[in-house]
Amino acid sequence: MEVLEGLKTRVYRFGNKTADGNSKMKNLLGGKGANLAEMSAIGIPVPPGFTITTEVCTEYNELGREAVIEFIKEEVEQSIANIESQMGTTFGDKENPLLISVRSGARVSMPGMMDTVLNLGMNDEVVLGLVKRTNNEQFAWDSYRRFIQMYGGVVLGMKPESKDDIDPFEEIMEHLKHKRGIELDTDFTIQDLQDLVYDFKDAVKKRTGQDFPTNPWDQLWGAIMAVFNSWNGDRAVYYRNMNGYPADWGTAVNVQAMVYGNMGTNSGTGVCFTRDAGTGENVFNGEYLINAQGEDVVAGVRTPQQITKLGSQRWAELAKIEEADRLENYPSLEELMPSIFNELNEYQDILEKHYRDMQDMEFTIQDGKLWILQTRNGKRTGAATVKIAMDLLKEGMINEKEALLLIEPNKLDELLHPIFDTNALKRSNIIAQGLPASPGAATGKIVFFADEAHKYKHSILVRIETSPEDLEGMNIAKGILTARGGMTSHAAVVARGMGKCCISGAGALNINYKKRTLTVGDHEFHDGDWISLNGSTGNIIEGKVATMEPELSGEFAELMELAVKYGKIKVRTNADTPKDAKVARGFGAQGIGLTRTEHMFFEVDRIKAMREMILANTIKGRKHALEDLLPMQRADFEGIFEAMQGQSVTIRLLDPPLHEFVPHQLATQKELAEDMHISLQAVKNKVAELEEFNPMLGHRGCRLGNTYPEITEMQTRAIIEAALNLKERGIICKPEIMIPLVGTVREFEVQDEIVRRTANTIFEERNDKIEYLVGTMIEVPRAALIADLIAEKADFFSFGTNDLTQMTYGYSRDDAGKFLPIYIKKGILKVDPFEVIDQEGVGQLIKLGTQRGRATKPNLKVGICGEHGGEPSSIEFCYNTGMDYVSCSPYRVPIARLVSAQAAIKTTM
Ligand code: ADP
Ligand code: MG
Ligand code: MG
């Protein structure tokens, strides 16, 4: 074991047109490291460096710092020497120093969620060496102060102490700027920068009690461990949980020679996209800053400039800047540095063709030389996701199957949500305009702090700028509005990734955190006031604006056609009303997998009849109340059958415990007593009688139908009569009647007999008949185990995975909220099994149930109707299990159809 451990490669080098790794090694090298290697190998100019693998991060988490240093010390030292020889500089040298960056990078991109340190290797002597080498004192000291700032924040924990505090280093800088009467970081003099370096070090000493480390190797190991630690930092953990990324992936560490964008006016740094990440439009775009480094563009401190002339002109129009002013003060890179722009344009083209997907790149210009620092498949909105995939298909860059696989199914979700009503928009009052950073419609109440986003049901987070600490609040808010920052600012990038509406860089806004006010001209808005954001135009609108259903045409319709072409497992919907059924059919649902009948009883006029039924003490009394319910329920079914126009509809007989229908508050109990002409005490007695210790395991499901057969009779009558009525109108439907919560064969048989007897009676009465099926839900583990016996009687199975999960784990669905979140946080469970099918345990029951059922009845129709039916990995599992269909809520239907196609394509690869 020891020997093997020693032999494992833990460090992979790249640079100078070669590399040990490649883009396929994302799990080991992280996305950033794998792509740095790939770029280097295909001849893109990448500063040389090396990647410490994600496995080492896991080793660090298990064995700690010293063990890891022992594992990799030699490889790291040799790899630094390799960078030194390529760059012709020496790490820690007083004459000609090498500075490096230490960058995080997990297998998936987690922008800003983990840490990076730039300009590492600096100290009081090295800075003088850098001055000597570059003849640029300003630059050398700027790099030094940046280093202390970043290292202090990332490695030494120099962070703001509370939410009203600003960053301790920013505070020192603001203080100096104020004293000197300057505004920008670039206005600092050499003397200022030197003062800052000493003040920063002083602040570190005061707060941590330690001197700032001067030895470059100590700095390096400190930064490597800090990057590993950042994998378990709050931000990263939250982001991982939000996206379901497991803790054991770990992050890689990329160590790389620094290139300097802050060397003067012939240097700069920027971010660019090969296509528009918001709309998907095929235009190269991005932002840059002259004389800047690293995160300056993203941090939104200075207003970044556009890369292309077209982009610059579009930006100026939104910002209401005259052409002459634009050209003079905000020229594009295309205009300012045409040859660098041409080179960058060439690389973006090469990289998009190479990766066959939209790329998001980082670059730095050091004294007139262009370096590429990162490329990745760019995050994009749902609309852009669809457009880019369909465009790449039309351009011949990818084929149909690849286009389908390129789309992350959950991204479609955004496209299915409401947009602003065009008529309401015409009447609205636009108070200001910002950059359309992430499209969509958002309306809500203003909050000024991320940790207050949960205060209102619909909140809009309004910030001067956002930072990675704000992630959780950004996720909760309906929309994000910032006064500063461009299209690649933190707010913009994160919002697009979340599919959340965002307007950034709205310069007209005046935000006061202390007073909690947002002022625009003479308008003042307060915490709790309503505003609306149109993320597609950048318009900020006063008050609440009405929304409407989106129209799904164009590329989306094309995508759905493709999905149908390749999809194998059918997609049905869960719908309880004709309205839901119609929506789902519009999205292409191929039938209804679950109609819950209890919801039909909750409406005002019906709940009364339902309560009378429950309170009746005799069969006669119950039948009488059920007769009142019959016509209402029959009309519901007619509406649903009509909406589905002859497609299969599965109807589940009454499922929930009766106590859910009786009033628990004194006032309503009194009302009911009066209505029914019985005593309040009688009502109270009944309520008490219905109370259960474990309602989830109590008197519900077919246990109701088996104790009150008249309920099953009434429901069967409503279903069969509705189908016969439709037949008279020329619509043939074949209802599938589903018995819930069956655990023994006899439980099913008794219900089956009632249904069939009732149906036959109606056929005789009407002298007409229809075809129908009687099947069962498999949701009690025992039912899965005896599926072969149940299948002798049942016409179909539908896996009720909510209950099946509840009963297999023994987690009450009603109480799991108390411990599941903690289980997930602690890693005891990787994901919530009520959201994602637990393939290991619950999945076995599903497989077994399907196999045993089909052993008895080879053509047994099998589907799923739990919440899982709309979740991508669960749908794939259902397909691989051989189910005929999945069923999900109407708005998930397009997503499920896409997954259906993807699952089928994957099995042929
Ligand atoms: P993130 O994953 O949060 O984007 P990065 O590791 O990419 O963090 O680095 C943060 C910023 O620093 C980026 O703008 C990146 O381009 C810049 N940067 C990283 N390494 C270097 C380097 N060696 N030289 C110059 N800039 C660098
Ligand atoms: Mg980056
Ligand atoms: Mg159930």
Nearest CA to ligand 1 atom 12: 294
Q: Which ligand is nearest to the CA of 373?
A: 1
The confidence band for 2, taking pLDDT boundaries of 50, 70 and 90, is very low
Nearest atom of ligand 1 to the alpha carbon of 116: 6
What φ, ψ does residue 616 adopt, rounded to 5°? Answer: -60, 140
Q: Is the CB of 31 under 6 A from ligand 1?
A: no
The confidence band for 5, taking pLDDT boundaries of 50, 70 and 90, is low
Q: Is the CB of 299 under 6 A from ligand 1?
A: no
Rounded mean pLDDT of 445-469? 92
Show Cβ contacts of residue 666 under 8 Å, excluding neighbours closer than 6 positions: none
Establish whether 501 is a catalytic residue: no
Residue 223 or residue 609, greater confidence:
223
Distance CA 96, CA 88 (A): 8
Eight-state DSSP code of residue 30:
H
Q: Is the CB of 103 under 6 A from ligand 1?
A: yes
The confidence band for 1, taking pLDDT boundaries of 50, 70 and 90, is very low
Phi-psi sector, 394: left (phi>0), alpha (psi -120 to 50), beta: alpha
Q: Is the CB of 373 under 6 A from ligand 1?
A: yes
Number of Cβ within 10 Å of residue 592's Cβ equals 29
Percent of the chain exceeding pLDDT 90 equals 74
Contact 491, 485 (CB under 8 A): yes
Rounded mean pLDDT of 247-273? 95
Predicted local confidence at residue 6, as pLDDT: 52
Contact 101, 219 (CB under 8 A): no
Q: Is the CB of 111 under 6 A from ligand 1?
A: yes
Nearest CA to ligand 1 atom 26: 294
Distance CA 368, CA 267 (A): 6
Rounded mean pLDDT of 378-400? 95
Question: Of 263-277, 485-499, 630-644, which range is least confident?
Answer: 485-499
pLDDT digits (tens, 9 = 90+) for 317-341: 988 899 999 999 999 999 999 999 9
The confidence band for 875, taking pLDDT boundaries of 50, 70 and 90, is very high
Q: Is the CB of 576 under 6 A from ligand 1?
A: no
Nearest atom of ligand 1 to the alpha carbon of 293: 26
Establish whether 490 is a catalytic residue: yes
End-to-end CA distance of the chain: 36
Q: How far is the CA of 376 from the centre of ligand 2 (A)?
A: 9
pLDDT digits (tens, 9 = 90+) for 24-38: 999 999 999 999 999
Contact 526, 446 (CB under 8 A): yes
Show Cβ contacts of residue 390 under 8 Å, excluding neighbours closer than 6 positions: 403, 555, 558, 559
Residue 655, both tokens: 């499922």
Distance CA 187, CA 178 (A): 12
Q: Is the CB of 112 under 6 A from ligand 1?
A: yes
pLDDT digits (tens, 9 = 90+) for 606-659: 888 888 888 888 889 899 999 999 999 999 999 999 999 999 999 999 998 888
Q: Which ligand is nearest to the CA of 807?
A: 3
Q: Is the CB of 364 under 6 A from ligand 1?
A: yes
* DSSP codes, 774-805: EEEEE-SHHHHHTHHHHHHH-SEEEE-HHHHH
Q: How far is the CA of 318 from the centre of ligand 2 (A)?
A: 27
Catalytic residue among 272, 502, 733, 865: 865
What φ, ψ does residue 826 adopt, rounded to 5°? Answer: -80, -5
Q: For ligand 1, pick from 39, 50, 103 the residue to mutate: most ligand atoms within 8 Å of CB.
A: 103
Predicted local confidence at residue 3, as pLDDT: 45
Q: Which of 550, 578, 564, 575 is nearest to 641 (CA)?
A: 578
Predicted local confidence at residue 332, as pLDDT: 98
Nearest CA to ligand 1 atom 8: 116
Rounded mean pLDDT of 464-486? 89
Q: Which ligand is nearest to the CA of 696?
A: 3
Rounded mean pLDDT of 422-429? 85
Q: Is the CB of 115 under 6 A from ligand 1?
A: no
Nearest atom of ligand 1 to the alpha carbon of 49: 23
Contact 715, 755 (CB under 8 A): no
Average per-residue pLDDT in the chain? 93
Nearest atom of ligand 1 to the alpha carbon of 105: 2
Rounded mean pLDDT of 114-130? 95
Kindly list the distances between the CA atom of residue 434 and the CA atoms of 318, 321, 474, 476, 544, in Å, as whole numbers in the listed order.
Answer: 7, 13, 18, 22, 18
Percent of the chain exceeding pLDDT 70 equals 99
pLDDT digits (tens, 9 = 90+) for 145-190: 999 999 999 999 998 877 777 889 999 999 999 999 998 888 999 9
pLDDT digits (tens, 9 = 90+) for 552-588: 778 999 999 999 999 999 999 999 889 889 989 988 8
Q: Which ligand is nearest to the CA of 652?
A: 3
Nearest CA to ligand 1 atom 6: 103
Nearest CA to ligand 1 atom 22: 258
Say if residue 769 is exposed, middle or buried (CB neighbours under 10 Å; 0-12, 13-18, 19+): middle
The residue type of 287 is E
Catalytic residue among 272, 490, 502, 888: 490
Distance CA 184, CA 900 (A): 53
Rounded mean pLDDT of 732-754? 97
Q: Is the CB of 374 under 6 A from ligand 1?
A: yes
Q: For ligand 1, pick from 360, 362, 375 the residue to mutate: most ligand atoms within 8 Å of CB.
A: 362
The confidence band for 450, taking pLDDT boundaries of 50, 70 and 90, is very high
Predicted local confidence at residue 788, as pLDDT: 98
